Amino acid sequence: MSKSFHFQGTLEETYLADMLWSIYRYKVPGVLEISNSGGVHKRIFVDDGSVIHASSSDPIDRLGPFLLRAGKLTQEVLDRTQRQVETSGKRHGQVLIEEGVMSPGDLYRAIRAQVEAIVWSLFSWTEGKVTFRLGQEEDPLMIKIHLPLRQVIVRGIKKVKRTRGLVARLGNKATVFKPSYDAEDLIEIALGGDEYKLLSLLDGERSFYDVCSAGPFGMSENARLLYAFRVLQLIEPVKDEN
């Protein structure tokens, strides 16, 4: 691929999970930027098949407000440290460490949770302009984490509230799927016990509706997971030869 390669599209045309799967397949570094009609811009930084960072222009996604919502900071501490950020020009995380509010380890875990929250929020977006630029942006202040993209796809889809749009991408109630995975795939994706039970129900004979009904979760969550399995190519539809 050319270093100048970029992709432009919309979430209405291509769902986020499918974009992330394509990025995973090619193992390319890059930045996926999504902006909605409200003017909010969020970016997912990827490298070597993992999400390594995410950012957002929405003020509620900033570290301070995120820690406040998570119960890690009080409003008083947030206001005090934020004033220090404004007067010193330091980053908020640095101030939190210097003030003894958080240890470096606590801050890393908080940033990881913040990045995850930004990524999960994008799975619920139903509209937005998307740009993917090949090549990693250099930012010496970026705190890198590593979230395997295949795990991100499963966890992100599970958090989607509206299921109908996803189910429509799978076919219909009578569609039958069969397995198409290796055991190594499941280990890297880190499927839980009940998730694996659902996957095991796809035997090439049961219909989509029957699997959703018999699965270990509610109908909606079972359907979302089946969509995740399809995106990850763990299952494929059985072709009707008639």
Nearest C-alpha neighbor of 153 from the set 58, 213, 209, 224: 224
Tens of pLDDT along the chain (242 residues) come to 445 557 889 999 999 999 999 999 998 899 999 999 999 999 999 999 999 999 999 999 999 999 999 999 999 999 999 999 999 999 999 999 999 999 999 999 999 999 999 999 999 999 999 999 998 776 667 899 999 999 999 999 999 987 777 777 888 899 999 999 998 889 989 999 999 999 999 999 999 999 999 999 999 999 999 999 999 999 999 976 44
- Domains of the chain: which residue ranges? 1-148, 162-237
189 contact partners, CB below 8 Å, separation of at least 6: 148, 150, 151, 154, 232, 234
Report the pLDDT value the prediction gives residue 242, as an integer from 0 to 100. 46
Report the pLDDT value the prediction gives residue 241, as an integer from 0 to 100. 47
